[in-house]
Amino acid sequence: MVIRCVCGNETHITPGAKPGYFLRDDASFDAQKKELRCPKCKSTALPLELLETRSNGAIIVQVVPGRTIAKSPLWS
């Protein structure tokens, strides 16, 4: 599944983590602050919520229903 930010950057997640999804893009996870953010524009408004980070490096996220990213006027 692809989650697209307002800046156009895409974050990829894969089903399989029960519950949630595996985050495929390590660049979208800030390990120091333990938060998800767009690596291009640094926005934290992605419709994803961090569930767990595993010792093997896997990052588990869930899609938050109802949390949407505002459309850029250029895309209208």
Query: For residue range 5-59, what is the model confidence (pLDDT) as tens digits?
Result: 878 888 889 988 788 899 988 888 888 888 888 888 888 888 888 998 888 888 9
Please tell me the distance from the alpha carbon of residue 29 to that of residue 25, in angstroms, as a whole number.
8
Whole-structure pTM value: 0.74
For residue 11, is it within any domain?
yes
Structural domain span for residue 49: 2-64
Q: Is the pLDDT higher at 63 or at 68?
A: 63
For residue 50, is it within any domain?
yes
For residue 27, is it within any domain?
yes
Per-residue model confidence (pLDDT) at position 22: 92
Per-residue model confidence (pLDDT) at position 68: 57
For residue 52, is it within any domain?
yes
For residue 71, is it within any domain?
no
For residue 24, is it within any domain?
yes
For residue 70, is it within any domain?
no
Q: How many domains does the chain have?
A: 1
